[in-house]
Structure 1
């Protein structure tokens, strides 16, 4: 378990709060299934440290990646070094795979049940993420469907 500790010049909680508010996500929804609302409030006021796993899941709740969060936090603190993705790659990749697998199954089932193309597009999006990790293969027929769908929406 890796604890994200703030240094005197880091304000991870404040950065998180700004991003949460910018996304229009309530404190309750951001904390949902990860931490208590009161803990998240303390974290946002930089009064509590947080383990990386929980920070990662909180970022998922507000639809931000670890890379985006670290980059923005570095910008806020006038540190302009690149984020070293390799430091968290194994953990983040595993989380991406698990989330894409769950979402893919969810959207596929919705598509089977109601035949709404949007659900099939979302299923294929998750499948393409899995393909990047060499776990799934998007067929030529599926790629053609995506091309046709996206082309029709753009025009």
Structure 2
């Protein structure tokens, strides 16, 4: 798999019937290793190990309802009040991040109202802080570290 612009992690990878699978530590199962899944697994480990967000408050491929359609977010990190804190949209490394990608995560956030958004293809990362009250956002250099359990 392609080298990403994220820290490297040790993953459990296995082959079966000419397909590769990667162990998802949040879902606790092996999933097919696609280029997008490679990005998703790296981002999850980045959020859990580097940014210290608890795996227990992380949801992967969470289903949500947008009007009458069912969609899936790549990663949602919840706070201790079970409110979405971060929504992450992952694309495979060869996919350019475009306005359509921002529109997609914005639609998801209309249903979830997360405080932060992250869009990545594993190479380029974009971070936003949302102000839902004023319906604005601010681009950030990075996501903050988890501060849920600090006194």
**Shared fold, TM over 0.5:** no
Larger radius of gyration: 1
Structure in which a larger fraction of residues adopt strand: 2
Q: What's the TM-score once normalised by structure 1's chain length?
A: 0.32
Task: Specify which structure has the higher proportion of helix.
Answer: 1
